[in-house]
Amino acid sequence: MEEVKKTSLYNPLELAQILGEPRDPRTPYTLLQNTICQTATAAPEDYVYSFDAVLDTDIVYQASFDGSVTQINVTPFSPTLLTFLDIASPEYYIKITDLAKKKEDVIARKTITINRSMNAIENQMIISTISGSVQTGREFGLVSGYNHFTYADLVSMLNSVIDYGSKFVLVAGTTIAKDIVLWNWTDNKYQSLSDALKALNVEVIRINQTVTIDGSVTAVVPATKAYLIACDTEVGNPVLFVRKKLDSIAMLGGVFSEAGDMPERLIISSCNPVTVLSGSKRYLAVGITGYEEIVVTCVNPYAIASYDRTQNQLIEAGLGTAFTQNAVGH
């Protein structure tokens, strides 16, 4: 009897299942999301609305597809339907030779890379939203005679949002975070930095991430900027962040569980191996991309203040109105 030879075929669905959902179940949200956002998930058929709980007629700010922020009017009687954004990670590649050798560590690393990439994109959308939501009178910069972010600057920011909460988070770029660490040295106060921040009930989150948008590398939080957020407002955290649960997309290799579990993120694997150039070398590989749908909206813009170290802050005599001009030499 003739022996039947078995042929092994590349199966994108099986690869997607092996890769799993690019989301760490132990930390499903980033530190930034857990700290300043109201987080939620929505079923595939669900709609997400925003209601006003502060004023009769209010404004929310929502991230748009191109990274810009859209102003939306809302009232208690007219809920606003929010639009989900399609988010995709860069395409990453796994060499066919690594798949053939069953190098699970390579697959695991790619899943972690996609998770980290999508976390950074989400953080960038959140920062873009709060940056575009800052109200007049809550924008601060360098005070005359100083070339760094000072304790007095933090107090000024705090005073502008203190009526909207009692717990605060300062999201700082790398240069601002360094200024804070050097407060004792620079200002010669000889006081405990942790005690100073504790007295104000301010938590500092330093963010040093970059994302690539349309081929351009962008800092999630520019090094010279900071945002102070009141996190326990009357409507909760001032930023709403929602991920949509996704049905498995079998035809694109986006299946994770045959039991019907709906993930919040998908990995789409290429249906056929592709040839990838790496310098002068070419190799056969499988392309994988992370995908999700999210909504980011600022529901209380009055609870946010911003600081820009590249701007000088001037105060009009007798009016107390802050405005800015470009700083030089920094």
**Sequence-separated (6 or more) residues with CB below 8 Å from residue 217:** 210, 211
For the domain made up of 12-21+29-309, give the CATH fold: phage-related protein like fold (3.90.1690)
Confidence of residue 330 (pLDDT cuts 50, 70, 90): very low
- pLDDT tens, residue by residue, 26-37: 788 999 999 999
- pLDDT tens, residue by residue, 209-247: 998 877 788 899 999 999 999 998 777 899 999 999 887
Partners of 212 in the beta sheet? 217
Residue 244 has which token pair? 């949509």
Radius of gyration of the chain (CA): 24
Confidence of residue 58 (pLDDT cuts 50, 70, 90): low
Q: Check residue 214 and give its pLDDT.
A: 75
Distance (Å, whole) CA 22 – CA 13: 15
Distance (Å, whole) CA 119 – CA 22: 10
Give yes or no for residue 170 having a pLDDT over 90: yes
What backbone phi and psi angles, to 5 degrees, belong to 40? -160, 165
Concatenate the DSSP letters of all residues of 262-281 into one string.
Answer: --SSEEEEPSS-EEEEETTE
Domain boundaries defined on the chain: 12-21+29-309
How many residues are given for the chain?
330
- Please choose, from the candidates 78, 65, 58, 87, the residue with its C-alpha nearest in 3D space to the C-alpha of residue 246: 87
Concatenate the DSSP letters of all residues of 16-40 into one string.
Answer: HHHH--SS-TTS-S-HHHHHHEEEE
Give yes or no for residue 161 having a pLDDT over 60: yes
Partners of 98 in the beta sheet? none
CB 140 within 8 Å of CB 227: no
Confidence of residue 201 (pLDDT cuts 50, 70, 90): very high
pLDDT average, residue stretch 268-273: 78
Give yes or no for residue 250 having a pLDDT over 80: no
